[in-house]
């Protein structure tokens, strides 16, 4: 029987599914340090990861490893050059989290714009003594301009939600989406600079790569309206968190909502000192239905990639499909 490692705690019923096909080593504790991860993978044929860094040194320590299934859409935790060089397949879990992530991004944007977290902290501190005409004035979403950077599946889901708020949608992407998609979403392609100047609310939903590192830094924040908000539900590192904290401190922009951070789970201390930011611990996909769908899709990928189950040899979501069928290097 082939051996696999499940590197993080997940739903026990998903483990039961995997046990139908594999000898399962399940880490039910904290995130495995690099050395422990290498040790646990040394005799494994496959692994199910949830953001664990897998680089060339990890792959070299696991000569039998043929596939790593990531329980996430993003896979910047994978060194894909090393995967390709070793003929190790990587898989991910797109689509199943589009709507819940878009819902959360919308909630985070609204919370930032309407100063919900800031006002709640003020209320909890016992500071609410009377109503005032200028208490916690925020920005409207209805009738405003939404700027989406990254018009993939989740970006499009956000744009669909903008219809109900009568918002103008502008977007920037590595390439324009198909004309019929633009028409359906009533979305208009603009340069990143124009988007930052025009948008009342900027939402980031682009993948993290070396090219997207610090897509939003001090120069980009300086282009935004003083009344604008920034929401990041993409990946940490896309925003220069130190520059953002300074822009929030000086009211260069009005507010921000962040679900992801550079170096998470660590958070830049400066972000913890400014009141006009809503901070959440990478939970945009955290509904039970969505997380179960992600876990089961990650299991489907692993089962199929290791030649088992009804889709044997045909995993639903290969990242580097070209390596399939090649001998492990």
pLDDT tens, 193-224?
999 999 999 999 999 999 999 999 999 999 99
Q: Look at residues 142, 138, 143, 160 and name the one whose alpha carbon lies nearest to residue 151.
A: 160
Q: Which of 130-151 are b and which e, b meaning 16 or more Cβ less than 10 Å from the residue's Cβ?
A: eeeeeeeebbebeebbbbbbbb
153 counts as catalytic:
no
Q: Look at residues 321, 322, 286, 309 and name the one whose alpha carbon lies nearest to residue 72.
A: 286
Residue 163 inside a domain? The answer is: yes
Q: What is the CATH number of the domain that holds 211?
A: 3.40.50.720
Which DSSP state fits 318? B
CA dist 228 and 185 (Å) reads: 22
DSSP secondary structure, 40-72, as one string: HHTT-SEEEESS--B-HHHHHT-TT--EEEESS
- Same domain for 129 and 195? yes
Query: Looking at residue 126, what is its pLDDT?
Result: 97
CA dist 211 and 135 (Å) reads: 41
- Same domain for 14 and 163? no
> Is-contact 101 158, C-beta < 8 A?
no
CA dist 284 and 297 (Å) reads: 18
- Same domain for 274 and 253? yes
Residue 329 inside a domain? The answer is: no
Q: Of 40, 235, 262, 291, which one is the catalytic site residue?
A: 235
Residue 38 inside a domain? The answer is: yes
- Same domain for 52 and 181? no
The CA-based angle 262-267-272, given to 5 degrees, is: 135
264 counts as catalytic:
yes
- For the segment 21-65, what is each residue's pLDDT rounded down to a tens digit? 999 999 999 999 999 999 999 999 999 999 899 999 999 999 999
- Same domain for 200 and 312? no
> Is-contact 176 186, C-beta < 8 A?
no
- Same domain for 220 and 80? no
- Same domain for 315 and 254? no
- Same domain for 102 and 240? yes
CA dist 222 and 292 (Å) reads: 41
Residue 328 inside a domain? The answer is: no
Q: Are strands 3-6 and 23-26 parallel, antiparallel or unpaired?
A: parallel
Number of domains in the chain: 2
Q: Of 249, 282, 292, 328, which one is the catalytic site residue?
A: 282
The residues, any chain, with a CB within 8 Å of residue 198's CB and separated by 6 or more, are 145, 147, 170, 190
235 counts as catalytic:
yes
Helix (H), strand (E) at residue 279: strand 277-279
The CA-based angle 87-93-97, given to 5 degrees, is: 165
SS3 176: coil
- Same domain for 116 and 247? yes
Q: Work out the pLDDT band at 143, boundaries 50, 70, 90.
A: very high
Q: How many CB atoms lie within 10 A of CB 60?
A: 12
- For the segment 284-311, what is each residue's pLDDT rounded down to a tens digit? 999 999 999 999 999 999 999 999 999 9
- Same domain for 107 and 246? yes
- For the segment 65-114, what is each residue's pLDDT rounded down to a tens digit? 999 999 999 999 999 999 999 999 999 999 999 999 999 999 999 999 99
- Same domain for 90 and 156? no
Residue 271 inside a domain? The answer is: yes
Query: Looking at residue 327, what is its pLDDT?
Result: 86
Q: Of 264, 308, 311, 328, which one is the catalytic site residue?
A: 264
- Same domain for 236 and 315? no
DSSP secondary structure, 79-95, as one string: -HHHHHHHT-EEE---S
Residue 106 inside a domain? The answer is: yes
Residue 241 inside a domain? The answer is: yes
Q: Which domain holds residue 28?
A: 3-94+288-323
Query: Looking at residue 1, what is its pLDDT?
Result: 95
Residue 315 inside a domain? The answer is: yes
């Amino acid at each position: 029987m082939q051996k696999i490692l499940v590197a993080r705690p997940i739903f026990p019923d998903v483990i039961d599914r995997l046990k139908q096909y594999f000898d399962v080593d399940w880490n039910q504790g904290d995130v495995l340090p690099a050395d422990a991860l290498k040790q646990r993978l040394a005799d494994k044929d496959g692994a199910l990861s949830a953001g664990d860094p897998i680089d060339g040194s990890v792959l070299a320590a696991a000569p039998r490893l043929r596939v790593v299934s990531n329980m996430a859409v993003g896979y910047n935790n994978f060194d894909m050059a090393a995967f390709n060089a070793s003929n190790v397949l990587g898989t991910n879990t797109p689509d199943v989290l589009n709507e819940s992530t878009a819902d959360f991004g919308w909630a985070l944007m609204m919370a930032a714009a309407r100063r919900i977290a800031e006002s709640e902290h003020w209320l909890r501190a016992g500071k609410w003594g009377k109503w005032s005409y200028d208490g916690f004035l925020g920005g409207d979403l209805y009738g405003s301009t939404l700027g989406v950077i990254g018009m993939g599946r989740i970006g499009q889901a956000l744009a669909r939600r903008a219809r109900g708020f009568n918002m103008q949608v502008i977007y920037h992407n590595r390439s324009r989406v198909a004309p019929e998609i633009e028409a359906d979403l009533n979305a208009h392609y603009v340069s990143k600079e124009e988007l930052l100047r025009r948008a009342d609310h900027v939402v980031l939903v682009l993948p993290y790569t070396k090219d997207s590192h610090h897509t939003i830094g001090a120069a980009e924040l300086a282009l935004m309206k003083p009344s604008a908000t920034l929401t990041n539900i993409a990946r940490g590192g896309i925003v220069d968190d130190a520059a953002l904290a300074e822009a929030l401190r000086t009211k260069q922009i009005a507010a921000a909502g962040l679900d992801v951070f550079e170096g998470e789970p660590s958070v830049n201390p400066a972000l913890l000192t400014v009141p006009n930011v809503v901070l959440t611990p990478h939970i945009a996909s955290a509904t039970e239905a969505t997380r179960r769908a992600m876990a089961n899709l990650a299991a489907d990928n692993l089962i199929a990639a290791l030649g088992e189950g009804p889709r044997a040899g045909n995993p639903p979501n290969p990242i580097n499909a070209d390596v399939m069928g090649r001998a492990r290097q």
